[in-house]
Amino acid sequence: MKVAIKGMGFYVPEEVVTNFDLEKILDTSDAWIVERTGIRERRRAKDTELTSDLAVNASKMAIKNAGIDPTDIDFIICATASPDYLFPSTGCIVGTKLGLGGVPAVDIAAGCTGFIYALSIAHGLLATGNLKNVLVVGAEELFKIVDPEDRSTYVLFGDGAGAAILGLSEDDSGILGWELRADGGYGELLMLPARGVALPLNQETIEKKLHYVKMKGNEIFKLAVRCMGDVSLSLLKKLGMNSSQLDWIVPHQANIRIIQALAKRLDVPMERVIVNVDKYGNTSAASIPIAICEAIEEGKIKKGDVVLLVAFGAGLTWGAMVLRI
Ligand code: UT7
């Protein structure tokens, strides 16, 4: 029996930060950001609003859309690179805020590929037949971990959350296959150096701003284009499919130029690619669920559509999944 998405939800904070707002505080311009990234605005959470709060809002919508009661959830997986704390996990906090004390919960740290990793793990858990409903949520507050004085990262990221309820399929919808990859050898290209045990927070690490995201954007760009294309084509081959059988591609929303290069490599017109990087920027593990859910709400992605999800991010990690909605 297949494992399918039974309902989805998303939540973005109210505050909109436009490129014009960023022009006022950084040596940057709307023209540069739009041309190099496709981003026009992004959302920022309040100081008092935590990653777990965004996750809870998205999860409540997914629970409603799946037509289940919160108490029907028997496992929670939260994908995040910006957790409330190193521990307890954000998954545990989300469970408590949903009134689900006692339900197992865990975080997945797979950067921007986190949501695809989490879906794949939920797929494996449900396939054992021991569980009925798994909540998978990708949630990020990246504004709180990027350097407000670093134009090369501060303009790229945004806050938000997207969630899905997964369960056994009752029709022909479901996950058709996935392929995941990782290579820690490239980890330093995109990392948050301090805050862990390797470089604990202290005056020196703070002065050197090592508690903020560091990214070699150019190198990540080239690897993202190559790896997202490779993993997508490899998965399609494994499934005996070609890209013309895909109704939609939902790529990780990091940069419009990466998305366009991917579409070209897969020979899929941009009309069949979901893009919202202009509105939300790069929301890491939240970007794919926000994009799918919004596309469903807008009537683009419909029941029965075959969709390719593909992402690339810190780790480095990358992966793809094909599913019928
Ligand atoms: O989520 C998964 C991981 N992340 C990604 O996939 C992001 C991948 N990388 C990218 O999207 C792009 O590499 C960036 C958008 C980050 C940068 O675009 P780029 O075309 O690779 O630019 P660059 O880093 O080569 O920088 C070109 C110039 C530099 O100036 P010089 O050295 O040529 O004088 C930068 O200093 O652009 C400058 N620059 C900026 N200028 C205005 C960098 N950031 C900005 C900025 N505004 N915000």
In sequence order, the 6+-apart residues with CB closer than 8 A to the CB of 79 are 107, 108, 110, 114, 115, 117, 118, 136, 137, 138, 139, 285
Residues designated catalytic: 112, 252, 282
The CATH code belonging to domain 175-324 is 3.40.47.10
Q: Cα(165) to centroid of ligand 1, in Å?
A: 36
| Contact indicator for 159, 4 with CB cutoff of 8 Å | no
Structure tokens, 119 = 């879906």
Q: 75-79 and 105-108 as β-strands: parallel, antiparallel, unpaired?
A: parallel
Residue 184 neighbours by CB distance under 10 Å: 9
Round to whole Å and give the CA distance between 265 and 236: 13
What are phi and psi for residue 99, nearest 5 degrees?
75, 25
Which residue has the CA at smallest separation from atom 38 of ligand 1?
152
Going residue by residue through the chain, which has 325 residues, state the pLDDT in tens, using 9 for 90 and above. 799 999 999 999 999 999 999 999 999 999 999 999 999 999 999 999 999 999 999 999 999 999 999 999 999 999 999 999 999 999 999 999 999 999 999 999 999 999 999 999 999 999 999 999 999 999 999 999 999 999 999 999 999 999 999 999 989 999 999 999 999 999 999 999 998 999 999 999 999 999 999 999 999 999 999 999 999 999 999 999 999 999 999 999 999 999 999 999 999 999 999 999 999 999 999 999 999 999 999 999 999 999 999 999 999 999 999 999 9
Angle at CA 309, nearest 5°, toward 308 and 311?
140
Distance of CA 50 to the CA centre of its chain: 17
Topology agreement, domain 3-170 and domain 175-324: yes
Pick the CATH number of 3-170 from 3.30.70.20, 3.40.47.10, 3.90.870.40, 3.20.20.10: 3.40.47.10
**DSSP 3-state of 273:** strand
Ligand 1 center from residue 88 Cα (angstroms): 35
Residues flanking ligand 1, CB < 6 Å: 28, 32-33, 36-37, 112, 151-152, 155-156, 190, 217-218, 220-221, 224, 254-255, 258, 282, 312-313
Q: Which atom of ligand 1 is nearest to the CA of 282?
A: 1
Question: What is the position in ligand 1's atom list of the atom closest to the CA of 37?
Answer: 15
Which bin fits 269, alpha (ψ -120 to 50), beta or left (φ > 0)?
Answer: beta
What are the tens digits of pLDDT across the range 164-205? 999 999 899 999 999 999 999 999 999 999 989 999 999 999
Nearest in space to 255 (alpha carbons), one of 293, 213, 217: 217
**pTM as predicted:** 0.97
Give the residue ranges of DSSP H helices in the chain. Answer: 19-23, 30-37, 51-66, 90-97, 114-127, 151-154, 203-207, 217-238, 256-266, 277-280, 287-297
List the chain domain ranges. 3-170, 175-324
- How many A from CA of 33 to the centre of ligand 1? 9
**Cα gap 14→59, rounded to integer Å:** 17
